[in-house]
Amino acid sequence: MAGGVRGKYYKEYREGHAVKIRNLDGRTTVQYFKIEEGAVMLESDIRKHFPDSEAVNRALRCLIPLVEAGRGR
């Protein structure tokens, strides 16, 4: 992706966004989405290894003792 800016719309996306859906009957439906507080967005290479919240939480709980041990130095 030449010339792209990573995270250009990240802040706006986190604040919420609307998606217009054009129905087969010609009507347009608008759905609003807002990411919940505490939600984390994973990049695609990470999602391959951690497919759901349970997997992410399990991995992070394993890291907590290492982080805490590092702070004790």
Tens of each residue's pLDDT in the chain, 73 residues: 577 888 788 777 778 888 999 999 999 999 988 888 888 888 889 989 998 989 999 999 999 999 999 887 6
SS3 3: coil
pLDDT at 1 (0 to 100): 53
pLDDT at 15 (0 to 100): 80
- Token pair belonging to 15: 């604040």
- Whether 65 is covered by a domain: the verdict is yes
- Whether 62 is covered by a domain: the verdict is yes
pLDDT at 36 (0 to 100): 81
- Whether 32 is covered by a domain: the verdict is yes
- Whether 5 is covered by a domain: the verdict is no
pLDDT at 6 (0 to 100): 81
Number of folded domains that form the chain = 1
Q: Which domain holds residue 30?
A: 10-71
Question: 8 vs 11, 12, 14, 59, 71, CA distance in Å?
Answer: 8, 9, 12, 29, 34
- Whether 4 is covered by a domain: the verdict is no
- Whether 1 is covered by a domain: the verdict is no
pLDDT at 57 (0 to 100): 94
